[in-house]
A and B are shown apart, each in its own frame.
Chain A
């Protein structure tokens, strides 16, 4: 028996190597950052630099080495194409922003230097997650990301909330992963493959002969796994506590990076499997279940967000509402509006990541020492005290509310448009209703910043460089994307 038969290692071609360079860079820098972090005194700085350098290199590679045609790596375990490049770039940027936001904050809250390597590991997991069309690799990417994030959530050792949040996220996330994995096994059992497209073809064949329970149960379980990660009602229960308990930069990272990765993976899976023409007919009620999930997600996030007095918690609930908008795009995709809906989802994710990173960078700067949870009251008089910071936060909030000329407006418009083209008038009206309700709570911080005088007791906010840089960049992007959105859309074509 020869060596090659004993160890069937496939060798990568030049094009394949080139395609996975960004992923390799991220993986390498995550390991290096981990190795450097215990360095006495300098560990923090060195691992931060490693992560930043790695992220920047990966971003450059992603931007300048776009393959003309999709490159399948190792027989399709990974697919590097336009979509994976865009979502990888988004997640790398989210990781980079999270690292910058952690700068300064980590020293005050006594967070270990390993935080940077964990961010890098999570980003590497996200990149795998969005570049695969193989369920097993998808699961590996998902777990690589999730395990790193579980630790990130509970890293703020001073706070009891953080440990609780980490445990909650770990337990629930574990259950969700298990359900997803079970679904994967059912799909594998009924179609004999783990590849998205083969599963899709297999399912189409099966549906011609009736409604087989096994693959449908598998699909439902996979869907639950995804819905958990994007935080749709009723799989949202972990969101408020976990997002509040985690340290603010980590929350920002989860809200932007983790969610973008989950949306990217879901988009790939939907294009191949969920958007099969027969699926909505199977069982008949599939469509209405999805419809109800979207409707509840849209309204729940808005209604509960209205009652929050903590800014972080408010934004946590608001992300549930945003999930509702994205799912609106997915419904359009599944109903058959493939092109428009996919574009709308990608654009919205981009805009969403930018405005949330900006928002959470502001929150990081506002977070009071010890509690880490700025209340609305803390914002009083911010318009006088820190006019530029207040302006940036207003911009992000208005963008989330969907008011032109900000990025969020176009994101929302694209999704409305795709929903309308799929004939979903009812859900669009519900989305409008949700928007109006959430506008009420997006405006409340503005009331405090500009219309209430500052407290006597209010302390001045820290002026960390990293978070300020993220705020500035995100604010500029939010405005520019709102003024020339076509430029960003053309980037994605």
Chain B
């Protein structure tokens, strides 16, 4: 068990190198699935071996890496990263399987490269989630950028080059500011304790000057500047409105497999960074800016929903819906309450499940129709019942119907944010209504009614293949499973979340209330 985390991180990278060197391209994808399936098995083992009651990181591996700078290869599992690690490990083979035959013009090298690059992304994502060392976190955070860039640029839609450059520049700018922040923190650690260290836990003990009375002027204090530097990276990746400009075109232009990865996992790197690093390391700034950020999140919910309503392209509409749903996560995080943050953490995985399912189905439609204009669809419920059913499950999870996982998460977020800021929560709750509008609208336009006039005569709509059925069944099971019995899930993060909240605002922890809600 001891080296399991290292294996999880590096097995995909080794596999990627192996696949690139393979002479036979046909085995690339099966091998990719095999490797990611092995990683998934490890993830499941971690889930069941994790001790929910224990405080502090588990399965710790710590090896010096840059001793002169206090940087080490420090990875561990805790209540905050466990759900995301397991989710990433499980989703990767499913995403491969679900996009098995995509894209249609796949050549041999393409299959090889795409599989290898996605495995590299998995390595980057798992490394980011598992890192307990801030510097290591940054390295993995950046590692994922290049495969994402190449995948979109090589295999994306018509506008891919411009899109991929925009995506890169946005995220790179944010990341570099974070790097400056990291350099600052490590140096501050040295001047405070005399020892360099980049360990997140040790850095949490640093206190930087911050004047809570100064309002937005507080951003110019040491802690405010650090907060801003890290926020730049995390808000762009999540994204929080107004740092989202790269998102719609990137999600739309990327090939399905990559869109799934971007929406389900990369965006979670941002929200996870907020939970794990931004808020605990800069608690005063977090308390001071939290309310404003809640409003930005609420605006993001409504803004994304409104834009999703008016889209004519199915994929763009879902991209905007993703923006709206990620904003719920942010709302929960910035509420700085135990149940809000636990709900947000749950919502990170929920959103990942629903958005993967939706983009998979969109990918299927794109493949069989060659277009994603809403006008080109209609009446699919008759011709492709399996597709329609699984689409329905994902839509219901998205609109947070009770009994689905989305309901649990959004409810926890809204209840706790309401206690903190009722205004922002009411605004956010209108987003739920709007969400139902665009989701059901999309569903109605594609699945019901007569066949589209635009569809070529005699067009054959393929229903889900066996592989796609397997994937959609797994995702649907997760939707219902978490929706009906979230306790096992929430219990694993409870201790870590409460410790985090206690660290951020020691005086506001209310054990009875938080206990009640998070045992929902």
Contacts and interface: CB of A to CB of B under 8 A. Distances in A.
B176 interface: yes
B168 A432 contact: no
A436 B173 contact: yes
Contact of B165 (A398, A429, A440): A440
Interface stretch (B87-95, B142-150, B244-252): B142-150
A193 interface: no
Interface size class of B (residues with CB under 8 A): 20 to 34
Given A403-B142, A451-B161, A436 B172 contact: yes
A443 B168 contact: yes
Interface string B157-197: 00011001100110011001101100110110000000000
Contacts of A398: 146
Nearest to B135: A413
Nearest to A383: B154
B160 A451 contact: yes
A404 interface: yes
A421 B187 contact: yes
Interface string A444-480: 0011001100000000000000000000000000000
B66 interface: yes
Contact of B180 (A403, A404, A429, A450): A429
Tell me what chain A mostly uses at the interface: helix, strand, loop, or mixed: helix
A404 B153 contact: no
A486 interface: yes
B67 interface: yes
A447 B165 contact: yes
B154 A451 contact: yes
Contact of B154 (A440, A450, A485): A450
A439 B161 contact: no
Contacts of A436: 169, 172-173, 176
Given A436-B172, A443-B165, A384 B177 contact: no
Nearest to A451: B153
B107 to A, nearest CB: 10
Contact of A416 (B150, B153, B154, B183): B183
B65 interface: yes
Q: Max chain A CB contacts within 10 Å: which of B64, B149, B186? A: B149
Contact of A485 (B66, B150, B164): B66
A405 interface: yes
Nearest to A489: B68
A429 B181 CA distance: 10
Contact of A405 (B139, B154, B172): B139
Tell me what chain B mostly uses at the interface: helix, strand, loop, or mixed: helix
Interface in B106-144: 109, 138-139, 142-143
Contacts of B146: 398, 403
A57 interface: no
Nearest to B142: A404
Contact of B143 (A405, A443, A489): A405
B183 A417 contact: yes
Interface residues of A, number: 29
Given A403-B142, A450-B153, A432 B176 contact: yes
B69 interface: yes
Contacts of A428: 180, 183
Interface in A64-91: none
A117 interface: no
Contact of B176 (A384, A405, A435, A443): A435
Nearest to A447: B161
B225 interface: yes
A429 B169 CA distance: 16
Contacts of A304: none
A420 interface: yes
A174 B153 CA distance: 47
Nearest to B145: A403
A403 to B, nearest CB: 6
Nearest to B168: A443
B150 A486 contact: no
A309 to B, nearest CB: 15
Contacts of B176: 402, 432, 435-436
A425 interface: yes
A204 B334 CA distance: 55
B169 A413 contact: no
Contacts of A425: 180, 184, 225
Interface in A410-436: 413, 416-417, 420-421, 425, 428-429, 432, 435-436
Contact of A439 (B68, B143, B164, B168): B168
B161 to A, nearest CB: 6
A486 B66 contact: yes
A294 to B, nearest CB: 16
A271 B501 CA distance: 48
A395 to B, nearest CB: 10
A450 B172 contact: no
Contacts of A417: 69, 183, 186-187
B169 A416 contact: no
Q: Max chain B CB contacts within 10 Å: which of A404, A435, A436, A443? A: A404
9 contacts: A403-B172, A404-B142, A413-B179, A420-B184, A432-B177, A439-B168, A451-B164, A486-B65, A489-B66
Given A420-B184, A421-B187, A446-B153, 7 more contacts: A405-B139, A409-B139, A409-B142, A420-B180, A420-B183, A443-B149, A486-B67
Interface of A: 384, 398, 402-405, 409, 413, 416-417, 420-421, 425, 428-429, 432, 435-436, 439-440, 443, 446-447, 450-451, 484-486, 489
